[in-house]
Amino acid sequence: MRAIGRFLLLVSVVGACRAAPRPLTPGDGMLQVPGGRIWYRVVGSGPGTPLLLIHGGPGGRACRLYELRALADERPVIFYDQLGTGRSERPADTTYWNVAHFVEEVAAIRRQLGLREVHLLGHSWGGTVAAEYLLTRGSEGVRSVTLAGPLLSTPAWLADARALVAQLGEPERRAIAEAEASGRYDTRAFAAANDSFSVRFNRRRAPSPAADADCAGSSGNDRMYRAMWGPSEFSATGTLRDYDRTARLGELRLPVLLMAGEFDEARPATMEAFRARIPGARVAIIPGAAHGMMNDEPAATAAAVRGFLREAEREKAR
């Protein structure tokens, strides 16, 4: 009887330690994940399956996905800042700056918000997190995944960067080559070249006043970016330098949408190469947009995602 009593006590303690699902109602809050607390926001309360947005970086912010609020007329749209950036806590311990931790964040969000069924959308580095979640945790309850300008292969990303740098003027190409050779990325020449690259292939328009206002009071984490990626978009020296899931993309067995802007640094041709490896995957290219497609062409981007989510839900209902 004592053994049974100890067992029941253990079960009750374990049950008490599990975070109870929170009502999925619009508003902001904080969630506990390994290492600290992360900020999240739910927008909308429509009947559709919730959409969880995973921002880019590493060290980016959810507010850069602001324009996807347009989808909240049909379903809850969930934004969150990863631990260490944005409005989330910034613990001194940097050992959690690894892919496995950020995958665990997705699992923790699903548990605590009761997201038994969910759509995932990962932008840039967020595409890494979404793909890793599916490849390591499985796709149970995940109705679809949208990989927007995703980092799925560091070699492919760097090859795209080289192809696009080749389209810049000779002074910009020289400044980038000199920075890569010397390791000095603090020169005026490199800053000008980087700006030239960014306005063509990263973000072609200024954020809307509403999007800028949403980002007020929060900031990204450049240290995290440098530790996990490197000193620039053109050079991977961090923990992601050997990252490559190209060979495993065929394991994604759910509706997949690959997106890119027409002028994306994650080039449309690369999205097509990824699509060829994923059974049934689709590609959407947003005309006139660069990597920040949500910012550059918000209406077209939201429309592409909206159509894909509706189609995925229709397929599920059949």
> Which residues are catalytically annotated?
124, 264, 291
| 142 bridge partner residues | 118
Strands 27-33, 36-43: parallel, antiparallel or unpaired by DSSP? antiparallel
Strands across the sheet containing 51-54: 27-33, 36-43, 77-80, 51-54, 118-123, 142-148, 256-261, 282-286
Describe the crossing of helices 188-201 and 170-182 by its angle, rounded to 10 degrees: 120
If you ran DSSP here, which 8-state letter would residue 318 be given?
-
In angstroms, the CA 252 to CA 255 distance is 8
Give counts: helices (H), strands (E), the chain: 11, 8
What backbone phi and psi angles, to 5 degrees, belong to 292?
-80, 60
The packing angle between helices 268-275 and 154-165, to 10°, is 150
- CA distance linking residue 139 with residue 5, whole number of Å: 37
Q: Quote the CA–CA distance of 82 and 36 in Å, as a whole number.
A: 10
Cis ω on the peptide bond leading into residue 231 (within 30° of 0)? Answer: no
Q: Which of 101, 97, 154, 150 is nearest to 121 (CA)?
A: 150
CA distances for 273 relative to 165, 250, 257, angstroms: 20, 12, 13
Pairing outcome for strands 118-123 and 51-54: parallel
